[in-house]
Amino acid sequence: MSGDLTIRGIKIAHERLSLALRDNSQVEVRVAEDATVDLTLVQLIEAARREKRDAGGDLTFATPAPQPLLDVLTRGGFLEAAESRRFWLGAGE
């Protein structure tokens, strides 16, 4: 995922992620270091992760969250639970 991943530009990322979720049992998400992000991206990925888990599949995050995303995750309190930290930051965190 790259570019504008905010409420203004999330449509393309949503469409691509929806197709990947539909067509694959395992999906890996990667967010570009220079992507513009807001809470919209976090909500999209969290919803997709739950949907995939409930369907018996797996959605993983390819690399630790890049700094812009990390800032949003921290401000939103998404890194408080150990399971969330493992997903967003990698198993070694």
Instruction: Quick: pLDDT tens for 22-67.
Output: 999 899 999 999 999 999 999 999 999 998 999 899 999 888 999 9
Token pair listed for 23? 């067509």
What range defines the domain where residue 25 resides?
A: 4-89
Three-point CA angle 47, 20, 38, nearest 5°? 45
| Mean pLDDT score across all residues of the chain | 91
Please tell me whether residue 73 adopts helix, strand or coil conformation: helix
- Structural domain count of the chain: 1
- In which band, very low, low, confident or very high, does the pLDDT at 21 lie, cut at 50, 70 and 90? very high
Say if CB 69 and CB 38 are below 8 A apart: no
Does residue 91 carry a pLDDT above 70? no
Region 6-34: mean pLDDT is: 93
Q: Flag whether the pTM goes above 0.85.
A: yes
Q: Alpha-carbon distance 27 to 57, whole Å?
A: 8
Minimal CA–CA distance to 20: which of 42, 46, 52?
52
